[in-house]
Structure 1
């Protein structure tokens, strides 16, 4: 598929429409539960052949960008579509060691070192501030795969820089499995046929909906929703979470000046959509939490409230179609494995597509990835159930069971996910 008219937005992202003109308007007010930049597309004369023997990747988040880059590196023809091209406003992302290893395998390790901040230590604390246990993450993962917290938009920039193909401003309306490929109808009215279609379009995946309907989506057990925002660093120097009976709040430095804040319920309780929930839930928490909450509540327009949903499917593939990343297996962010699993998925699927026999490539990809994803989801479920224990009992046991749980969840992930 040939496109015309390449443009770059204010964040340096390449943006392309299927016509000749595109405008990305970053001043459009954002929906607070959908933190990505809005795109206004003005189409001109269309160009290109919508029938293609290559791969169509739907979604230009971390999963889609990683897969497109991996396919380009393997000289596999690929097109990329994204409903809202441009910088993703999804705040920050925590990259555990296996995410860092996967990004190194993707060839962007040097660029990754230039953004964000390494995470040398984790601390789990009670609602009163008492240290329950800590983890030396650098010692656990090793110096070459130190965990890292980065701004999501900066990671997108790193991944997009090497593509050589720009996302078309569209997504899919329908996908139908056909002999030797898949027939696709786009939201802008175009139709086409591809040799292989990949849904990398997140927890609300249009591709998954077209292939499997609404099956597999569920509310996360630990917390049905979350609040996320950035705030000035109140003096924390590591990953640190405070947890009590009603809520848990994580502060994670992304650089020397600011922290990423993630707040949620701890035992499946409601997370109010009014920012006052934050002030009420965490009113007695320690000083660093109070500092970021004061900043946030004075600037409610900077807060993101969104549901926490999980996807559990018996299969991620149908014919020459496959799902990767959150579209296939979104999981509550207890172990922060969303980006890691997405990039690992991308590397494995790219290898299988480059190997040929696209009729079975999806099945081979899923066989290689299923055990690892099941492991992460099982430990997510285990943690969620344990969080339902009485707080006094949880705080009594965590100094012993916490480090064991960390090692059990992350230990197998130190091996390459391929």
Structure 2
């Protein structure tokens, strides 16, 4: 019992840690040196701090013109803390649940035991830190060279822009130091593709990343978690790109005016950015209704577990798909490859998905009550906030203060709530020494 209480502590610490980071960020952004005019709107500061710490990317003020370099540095640090901090915590929680800390074996949450070898925690943290630094550094170098050589930015400016956007991309934050976000680079593969690569690398999750590093040549030895993540992430990525091509290719408000290269690059970005990244290289206020629906699904699902992505997670979504498939086949066990999935994991996936839908539904009703905006814009904004995506149909800056507070709460729940709920469910294991009589209510 004492061990169980000890393992449950991180789940309670997560919201408090995020609140502390948000409060600190808000106070720093309220300093006169953080704002170009020297006067900062407290709600704008708080909203920006929540969005940055929760690596969302929704903004109520223009980042490059409203905030000074000091303010932008604060935002970047909040992004790094929100992304790296939650990644580290999520990875450790995964290891705590599985009880199998040696990275050579498996870094997935299998809930087989509840033992913890503390000697390996430092190794995990060190590898995560090295991976983050290497990925962000590599992307920063590529972007800096491009900004300097092609866009003729001063070396210091190009370096700053390269570092900021690399950190923002790897942490799936979506903040940009250009007023039009990435719209000005829609046809530039040397800007868009490195950013997409960073988004995927950060969003796939470190347990999967570490396992693939040693087992990528032997898919048959992959754990169920890695299979779900890799296959699911790839499937949704392909679906996102192809549907964006199909629906936006001739749309005069998005890809229509671009050449062939621009349309292809824009379509790749259109499939990657909704995966909780938040960057936009086209005006999402002009997308077709079909694209909007696809993006709602992609944003709600999100990326991989124990990474920088938000949403209910790919593993949750595809695990439920396998549950449905097993039920349709009349099979008692849910199987992925040669492995059966424990009923407990199935219940956890269902709980996370339903709670996520509940948050989105409640927040949508709240926003409809305090705004006069069309329902489709409100729903898009709500799902984007919950999935910590940051895409917007140009609605966020128009929101009233009560509406902004609602969106802030949704961003917080979307980033902190999913990992807290998942870890709380994992640590709430209890065994009853008896079984109650079963009943079968009519379903459907």
Q: Could you state the TM-score of these two structures normalised by the residue count of structure 1?
A: 0.29
Q: Which has the higher strand share?
A: 1
Q: Which has the higher helix share?
A: 2
Q: Could you state the TM-score of these two structures normalised by the residue count of structure 2?
A: 0.28
